[in-house]
Structure formats: C-alpha cells, structure tokens
Structure 1
Amino acid sequence: MVESFTDRRGQVHSFGDAVEEQRVRADDRGHVFHSWSAQARINPLPIAAGKSSTFWDYEGNAYLDFSSQLVNLNLGHQHPDLVRAIQEQAGRLTTIQPSMANDVRGELARRIAEVAPGDLNKVFFTNGGADANEYAVRMARQATGRRKVLSMYRSYHGGTATAISLTGDPRRWANEPSDSSVAHFFGPYLYRSAFHATTQAEESQRALEHLENVILLEGASTIAAIIIETIVGTNGVLVPPPGYLPGVRMLCDKYGIIYIADEVMVGFGRVGEWFAVNSFDVVPDLITFAKGVNSGYVPLGGVVISDRISSFFDDVAFPGGLTYSGHPLACAAGVATFEVFERDGILERVRDLGARVIEPTIRGWMEKHASLGEVRGSGLFWALELVRSTETREPLVPFNAAGTEAKPMAEIASACKAAGLWPFIHFNRVHIAPPLVISEDELRRGLDIIDEALTVADSFAVQE
C-alpha cells in the first residue's frame, strides 16, 4: 500500500490533500488539450501515484489497472528496474542524435532482432506506434514502387495521417479525406461473420477468399502492402482462426505484396510471446512495435525489418527520420525490459495466468450472465462481448454508441471503478489487459469485480 506521494518539487503529500488535487485539476482544465475528446465534456481524474498493478488518485482511492493504461504498461507502474535504467542512463548520456552509434540503442535493436521471427534483423526506431506504422508503409512503398495499402475495417493503427487512414474504426471518419490510397477489407470474426461462416475453418477460408477478391479488384500490381494487427486490439481482441495469417502470407507472396504485422499492442509479452506472430507460424516482412517494448516509460516504437526490405536501402537512401529515433533513455528502459522478462519468466507467467486463471474463469461466466455473448483472447489479453440477447447477438449498445445510447457500458465502467478497478471499455466490450506483473491474487480480485459488474449488463439483457 502506498501511504503518500511526492510531487514534482520533491514535496511529500498525504492522500486527501485537496489543495494539491485542485491545483492539478486547474492546470489540466485550464491548459491541457486532451485527445479524442470534446474538451468541455470531460473531467480527467488526477492521479497521484502508481505502483505495479495499482494506481491511486489524490483522495487515496486505489484502482487495479486492468487496462495497463493504454495496453502499454506491461511491466506495471514504477518498475524499479526500468526506473533505475533510465536514471543511470540519464547520469551518463541523456541523448545523442540517431545518426550516431549508441550502446543501448544498438543492444536493444540486437535483442529485438534475436526474438523476431525469420530474417527480420534490422530495427528502425520511432517515437511510438503510429509513426512506426507510417514508416513501415513508407518502406513498403519505396521497396515495391507501389502506392496502395490494404487494412482491415476493424483495426486501429494510429492517429497520424497515413495511420489514421489505415485505421478501420470510426476514429477515421472525422479525419477524412487523408491518404486516399488505402482500401479496407473484412477480417475474420466468426461471432459476427461477414461471410456467414459457422466454423473457424470456414471463416478462415472465406475471409481469405474475400481478401484475394479485394486484391484483384483493387489491382494487385498497385498494392504495396497489407497491414494487419496480429490480434486485433481495441476493436475486439479478435484472434485470427488457424490458417488465416499463413494464408495472408501466401497471398502476399503470390502478388508481390509486403506483409506488415502491427504488433504495437500485442508485442512484448501481452499474449505470452515476444511477438504474437510467433503463435501463428508466420513470418511477416515488417513488424511494427511500441507500447510494451519499455512499458511507455519513455516514448519508443519501431519497425523490425526483413533482410529483403532492408537490403533495398543498401544503396538507396531511406527518405525519413526522427530527431528522437532510438532515444537513449527509451532504449535503456527497453534493454531493462528484456532483462526483467528473462529473469522473471514473464512470457511463461503470462501464458500460465491466461490459461489457468483467466480463460476458465470467464468461460465459466457464459452460463451465468445473460449479457455475455462471447469471450475470446490469449495470455493477458481478452474481450467480453456483451449483448442484449445471446440468441440474436444484438450488441448491448449500438456500434459507435455515444451519449445515452452508451449508458449501459458507462454504468458497467462506473461499477468497476467504484469497486476499485479501472476497466478497458470499448463499444459493447469489456477488455481484460492488466500489467503482466500482476499477482495471481490481484488478477482473481479484478476478475471478481468484473463478474459482479456484469450483473449491471445483465439488467439490460433479455433473460432467455
């Protein structure tokens, strides 16, 4: 239990310090412009401290972080090894431009390449996930001489120009027109199959047939890349059925298209693998990453590049760069992340907790909650799809619901927070994505809170 917190001036405060809380609120409301928000309609909660899987507000209310903030805090709040690595790096070399060689930058790139599949041996560092996807697309376009990129409707690839064009969810709409050389397709999603499939095998086959038709109708010779979240994140924790990703690889090889795996959310242990593609026996041409590479302690992302793509730029200058590419403070935290993963067996514990604790628990809820249509996921990354009727599969709230339409999900979130858990809510789903260092007792306590909160969802569902 954290008994107090320290502000930026080094002053120690006890929880319940109303003056300090009001100062934080005033500065935020007066001067901070928040993302994805109508500014006058939000009231951000001031946070005083965090440790491991828990954070505290200024009143001392504790919240189990079941969203890992934005599914990036894989090693939890204030992990001492990561904090120490940043402090030590700052003491000897705070920053150096990316055109120079740096020890932690090079070591992190080597470590990433060693756990990447196949011949992905080079790393281009970025500041986060959106620009990682931007640069992966730029590499694909340069290497192929083509322009068009295909991405799924149910996807999120970032908020910058090309990345938001790649994004399939409604956040794209208000940003259009942007990159007009992006086309979307339906990915596999058996529970709401666009292909009237009844089995995983049918869904995989029909989704691949659909993708090939899109390739042909868009003009295979015009397509530089296909970008796919290995496991779709915010838009549903959609795990691809067996054979789908290898099928995508085959289509890319057939038509000379570059396969980009977006692992910004699911890379670095979220599903018990360094990269989620390792679970699907497939080797992309490019992998994008961010978030879990250093838990977001200092912004960092990147692109892992196959030999085929990197060799294209041996004698052709790559047209791009970033002032903070491979920032030493960020890379030091990344190297420390590898050390913690290896020392503490993080990948193994994620697989264990997912299979032994989460999956049997939430599957057991299916008979208990009238609102629970489907559960799906892997490792420490799961989604509960909530419906008004398990027979019709009508979502508990409409697609992209807002205002009063979204009330059921808002009430579920409120129930979770009141019980001491910070949930990840998106559309008609509750996602489960705690830090990978969460204790088993904390994990079970969080699941109990969600179990109880689902009684709120049940009150909006048809009792069949």
Structure 2
Amino acid sequence: MTAPAPVHDTGYPVLLPNAIVGSSPAARLCLVRGKGAVLWDSAGRALIDTLAGLGQCAVGYGREELAEAAAAQMRELSAYPLHAGPVNEPALLLARRLAALSPAAGSRISYTGSGSEGVETALKLARLAHFHHSGQQRPFVLALEGSYHGATAGALAVTVRADLHQGLGPPSRHTVRLTRPDPRALGPDAVPMLICELERAIERVGPGLISAFIGEPVMGVAGCVVPPPGYWAEVRRVLDAHGILLIADEVATGYGRTGDWFASPRFGIQPDIVVTAKALTSGYLPMGAVLVGRGVLDMLDGFPLRHGFTASGHATGAAVALANLDVIEREGLAGRAAETGSRMLEALRPLEQLPWVREVRGCGLMIAVDFGGDPAVVERARAIPGRAAEAGVLIPHAAGMIKLTPPLVLTDAQAEQIVDVVTAEVRRLGSASPAGG
C-alpha cells in the first residue's frame, strides 16, 4: 500500500475553503493527532492550537470519554432521524439537559447538524410563529454589520459581510442592516445612538413586517467585538415594544467560551430563540441545537411543525454531547475560560500602545488583537502564521487581526506561550518586511 503523502502535500483533489479555485494551492499543514490543546502535524511538530479549530473544541483533543461514548452508542443504535417519527434516548436526555441550561425560559429543543442549519431553523421558526399567531407575514430581519451567521442561503442572507457575498449579490433585501455595537469606534454615546438607529429602522420598515433581530452576544468572526454595557438590554426593550423576536446566535459563544454556559445572561440578553452548535460536542461530531423559548412555543401552539433534517437528534451525536457537557461541568471549564482569558487579555493589553494596534479586546477565551486597516501592517502580518508555527503555536490566519479562541483546557503554561509568541510577533510588525525578514 502506498504511504500517505508528507506534510504540505497539495496533490489531493480537495476543494479547500479559502483557497483560490484553479490557482496553485498554497502549502498547508497536515494535522494527524491532537491531545488537550496541542496538535501534531505529519512532520511530528507539536503546535498549541489558538483557535480550537473554529472555536468548537472546548474540551480539547483526544478525550477518551467522548470516543467511548460514541463507540458505545454506535454499538446500540448509531442514529435514526427524529424527522422520520421515532425518537431515541440520547436525544431525549440531551434535550432535557439543554432545556435546563437554556437562557430562553421554558425551552424545547430543535436539533440540527450545524450552526448554519440552526440559524435557518431559528429564522424559519420566527416567521412561522408570527404567521400562526397573528396571520401576519413578517419577512424582514434585523442584523448587525460585520455579523456572521453561516454559509447556507438563509443564514448567509442575514450575514452582513461584503466579502462573503462576492458574486452572490448583497444580503437579502429583507435584511435590515444595523451598525455593529463597537464601543471603541462609537465612543461613550454608543448605546443611545445605536438604539435610536434601531427605532428608526423599525419605523422605516414597519414593525408589523419584522419577524426578528438576530445577533451574536459577542461578534466572533468580526473579531471578538464586545458590545457596550446595556446595549442588549435596550435592544430587548425596543423589540418587546414592537412584538419582534430576539434570536441569540450563540454558535461561537455557547458552552463555556465566554465564562458561563451561555453569553446571553452576561450581556443582559433575554432571547426568544438561541442557536448553538460547535462546542455542543466539542466538534467530535457535527451537531447543533436550537433552544426555542416558551414565548415562541406559545405562538406556535397548535401549528404542525414540518421541519427537520436527516441528522436531527443524531443518537451518537447526542451521546457525545452529553459526555462533552459532563466534562465541561466536571472540570469547571467555563470558569477556567473566564480566568485564563482575563489573564491573557491583561497580558496582551500593552500592545495597544503600539501605533499599528487599534485595539486588544475580548471576553473569556475570545480575544482579538486588531491591527486596524493599514495595508502595510496587514501585509506584514501575513508572515505571522509561519513564524508562530516555528515557535510551537498554531495561528492559522493573521492579516487584519489575530483572533484567539483556544480550547478551554488550555494550561497556564500554554496560555503564557501563546501570549509570548503573539506579543513578539505583533511588536515585530513595526519593522519587519512583508516577507517576514
């Protein structure tokens, strides 16, 4: 049998995300193993993961208890779609547990396979709830500039990022764009300004045509943007006055990332629907869950819900999710995220003194070092991933900013190593050549 190709091989017919189709593919690391917060590539090099994949691997890599939970469930019943009629025990047990944790009071659970599917589900349920409750069609959705809600058609329609709409046209004409709640950019009067904009947008469109406001408690892809104090509570007040539902996209923030099970309560959000995925299983299996609050359920009472996916309530995924939640709870990983993140943020704050650093910000283990828009700095930052890897730290992307969302099991020593490498590389941007010399 032919041996696998070595690290950086680009001869396999894989259509890679973020690659330019038809171009000569850039060299990429080939990862072969992981343990805790550390990954190994096929050359045997150990790298501390600063992203937890895409924020999903909360409990770290190589967890035997998750592998055992999957194997045990597969031996009994791998999966059977809830959409087909019968239920399975792990999905029922997980629903009970998630309902108890949910920041949306009185929740029932709708299962998905990903965050994108979850956003699609939430948007659909919001519109159906209004239609069944009042007979009104409410096609419009309020969304924040710079938000990311997924890659499928409906989720992309409320994702307000020009780079992701290239060749597809702008977001849906039913998406109402609102200024992102960035306290550094907007200053001390951010909240009244943003709420005034929200009220005017609702008046312009007509409150009877808007089904929901969708937002991330902390904006992840936009660069760990933490809203100003009081923002979400004021948003809730305005939405309530007009009968508009609030969807909290906690795909990135859920299950311990910001220092608690969910970020919504920390920021004064009382959501009607909560979208989750990623860390629900720590990425060991694709699975998501939409937590649908009592208010929406009451609006839907008596409605025949014709919605579901082949993998909805996947038995093995649910078993892994239950084991994963056990680990997060048993090891106090939400509290650890708050403590470790606070130390890392404080250690990185001095970088704000550099003229090429716009801001260092974060919440829990969601941290960003933002370089602003200086093209020269952005170009020099492209050399950071290669140099960081040589220092034993995996930073896959570092153009406009460095984002840190490591596994919640990160050790103190690993956190210090990440801070040291990031600090050295960011300081180097003031003099390094674009090629990294």
Larger RCO (alpha carbons 8 Å, 6+ apart): 2
Return the alpha-carbon distance in structure 2 between the equivalents of residues 408 and 457 of structure 1. 6
Q: Equivalent residue of 1:276, what SS? A: coil
1:293, distance to aligned residue in structure 2 (A) = 0.7
- Describe the shift of the 1:180–1:456 C-alpha distance in structure 2 as closer, same or farther (beyond 3 A): same
Q: Paired residue for 1:20?
A: 4
Contact 1:123 1:305 in 2 (8 A): yes
| Count of aligned residue pairs for this structure pair | 422
Mean CA deviation greater in 44-53 or 147-156: 44-53
2:393 to 417, 421, 439: 421
**For 1:7-406, what aligned pairs fall within 5 Å after superposition?**
19-22=3-6, 25=9, 29-39=11-21, 40=23, 41-98=25-82, 99-145=85-131, 146-169=138-161, 170-176=163-169, 179-193=172-186, 198-199=187-188, 202-355=189-342, 357-367=343-353, 369-387=354-372, 395-397=373-375, 406=378
Contact 1:245 1:282 in 2 (8 A): yes
Q: Paired residue for 1:401?
A: none
Return the alpha-carbon distance in structure 2 between the equivalents of residues 133 and 427 of structure 1. 28
1:150, distance to aligned residue in structure 2 (A) = 1.3
Return the alpha-carbon distance in structure 1 between the equivalents of residues 100 and 241 of structure 2. 28
1:424, distance to aligned residue in structure 2 (A) = 5.2
Return the alpha-carbon distance in structure 1 between the equivalents of residues 143 and 218 of structure 2. 13
CA deviations on 1:72-101 (whole Å, 9 max, x unpaired) are 111111222211211111121111121322
Unaligned runs of 5+ in 1: 1-8, 10-17, 388-394, 399-404
1:23, distance to aligned residue in structure 2 (A) = 9.6
Contact 1:105 1:331 in 2 (8 A): yes
Return the alpha-carbon distance in structure 2 between the equivalents of residues 290 and 408 of structure 1. 34
1:305, distance to aligned residue in structure 2 (A) = 0.4
Contact 1:188 1:203 in 2 (8 A): yes
Return the alpha-carbon distance in structure 2 between the equivalents of residues 459 and 175 of structure 1. 39
Identity between Structure 1 and Structure 2 (%):
28
Runs of 4+ in 1 over 4 A off after TM superposition: none
CA RMSD of aligned residues (A): 2.1
2:309 counterpart letter in structure 1: L
TM-score (normalised: structure 1): 0.86
Contact 1:120 1:304 in 2 (8 A): no
Return the alpha-carbon distance in structure 2 between the equivalents of residues 135 and 116 of structure 1. 17
Return the alpha-carbon distance in structure 2 between the equivalents of residues 23 and 242 of structure 1. 46
Unaligned runs of 5+ in 2: 132-137
Contact 2:58 2:257 in 1 (8 A): yes
1:119 counterpart letter in structure 2: A
- Describe the shift of the 1:30–1:21 C-alpha distance in structure 2 as closer, same or farther (beyond 3 A): closer
Return the alpha-carbon distance in structure 1 between the equivalents of residues 405 and 299 of structure 2. 38
- Describe the shift of the 1:362–1:24 C-alpha distance in structure 2 as closer, same or farther (beyond 3 A): closer
- Describe the shift of the 1:24–1:443 C-alpha distance in structure 2 as closer, same or farther (beyond 3 A): closer
1:38, distance to aligned residue in structure 2 (A) = 1.2
1:310, distance to aligned residue in structure 2 (A) = 1.8
Q: Paired residue for 2:135?
A: none
Contact 1:117 1:278 in 2 (8 A): yes
Return the alpha-carbon distance in structure 2 between the equivalents of residues 117 and 23 of structure 1. 44
TM-score (normalised: structure 2): 0.91
Contact 1:261 1:284 in 2 (8 A): yes
1:25, distance to aligned residue in structure 2 (A) = 3.6
Q: Equivalent residue of 1:183, what SS? A: strand
2:338 counterpart letter in structure 1: R
CA deviations on 1:88-119 (whole Å, 9 max, x unpaired) are 11121111121322111111111111111241
- Describe the shift of the 1:178–1:348 C-alpha distance in structure 2 as closer, same or farther (beyond 3 A): closer
CA deviations on 1:115-165 (whole Å, 9 max, x unpaired) are 112414201010000010011000011111311111111110000001111
Contact 2:48 2:394 in 1 (8 A): yes
1:378 counterpart letter in structure 2: C
